[in-house]
């Protein structure tokens, strides 16, 4: 991880130059050592929006640094312009976003454009919580805190996209739904496995096995080694329906 992190931050510093205000670790790494398939999540804050040549250069460099193998982690780089998120407003605007799920699109010559990204509320909150500068000052010097109501809006807003990916990305969908539920009830953003632990204590026994398996995969398994038995696959949709019902109940009570 250290080599990839150093290369990623070095690439951002080289390409963004004096417009770079700071780079920060976020995601699971701010809470504990990364799980086998966890992304290496980096947030960069800039003075102004990137021009197209810089976007292309970042994509070319990140395609070389990031990967999905036992020895190369997927890198997720999020870049925001400070004036787009301070003072805070919802939905926040992301200036540049790179992740492995975009690889095929980016390899054909495209590059990320600015646009609204509600999920950025979660990214900024975790970066503030972690307070892990890679370059620059503490993130609290550059960012405003995100109101809890906007964390809820961001969390709930990602549910339709999660459900669309249920068959292809089962482990992450189940774990993320557990985290959405946990955030709504507790007001805290937990790691995926910690959110699963919380959810498991609040689910009836018949709806636990799929989430237990997703949690174990997350903690111990690379994506290429992931296996779901037919019995567990049959439990996925009933589990999801139960968690969605719990989420809806919390929202109605708010």
Residue 102 burial class via C-beta count within 10 angstroms: exposed 0-12, middle 13-18, buried 19 and up: middle
The verdict on whether 226 is a catalytic residue reads no
Catalytic residue among 64, 76, 100, 158: 76
Q: Where are the domains of the chain?
A: 2-145, 158-253
Alpha carbons within 13 angstroms on the beta-carbon side of residue 248 total: 6
pLDDT one digit per residue (tens) for the chain, 254 residues = 678 889 999 999 999 999 999 999 887 766 666 666 677 899 999 999 999 999 999 999 999 998 877 778 889 999 999 999 999 999 999 999 998 888 888 888 788 999 999 989 999 999 998 899 999 999 999 999 999 899 989 989 889 999 999 998 999 999 999 999 999 999 888 888 999 999 999 999 999 999 999 999 988 887 778 899 999 999 999 999 999 999 999 988 86
Q: Confirm if 134 and 12 have CB atoms less than 8 A apart.
A: no
Q: What DSSP line would sit under 148-182, residue for residue?
A: HHHHHHHHHHTHHHHHHTTTTSHHHHHHHHHHHHH
**Residue for token digits 């049959």?**
234
Kindly indicate whether the domain formed by 2-145 is annotated with CATH number 3.40.50: no
């Amino acid at each position: 991880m250290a080599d990839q992190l150093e290369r990623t931050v070095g690439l951002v510093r080289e390409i963004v130059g004096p417009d770079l205000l700071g780079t920060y670790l976020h995601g699971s790494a701010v809470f504990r050592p990364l799980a086998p398939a966890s992304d290496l999540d980096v947030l960069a804050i800039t003075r102004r929006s990137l021009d197209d040549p810089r976007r292309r250069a970042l994509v070319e460099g990140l395609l070389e640094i990031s990967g999905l193998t036992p020895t190369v982690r997927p890198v997720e780089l999020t870049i925001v312009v400070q004036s787009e998120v301070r003072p805070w407003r919802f939905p926040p605007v992301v200036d540049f976003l790179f992740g492995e799920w975009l690889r095929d699109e980016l390899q054909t010559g495209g590059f990320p454009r600015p646009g609204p990204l509600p999920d950025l509320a979660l990214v900024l909150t975790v970066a503030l919580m972690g307070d892990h500068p890679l370059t620059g000052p503490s993130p609290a010097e550059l960012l405003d805190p995100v109101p809890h109501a906007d964390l809820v809006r961001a969390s709930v807003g990602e549910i339709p996209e999660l459900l669309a990916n249920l068959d292809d990305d089962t482990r992450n969908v189940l774990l993320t739904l557990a985290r959405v539920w946990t955030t709504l009830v507790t007001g805290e953003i937990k790691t995926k496995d910690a959110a699963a632990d919380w959810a498991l204590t609040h689910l009836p026994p018949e709806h636990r096995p799929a989430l237990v398996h997703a949690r174990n995969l997350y903690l111990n398994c690379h994506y290429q080694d992931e296996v779901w038995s037919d019995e567990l696959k049959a439990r996925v949709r009933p589990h999801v329906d139960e968690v969605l019902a719990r989420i809806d109940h919390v929202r109605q009570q708010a």
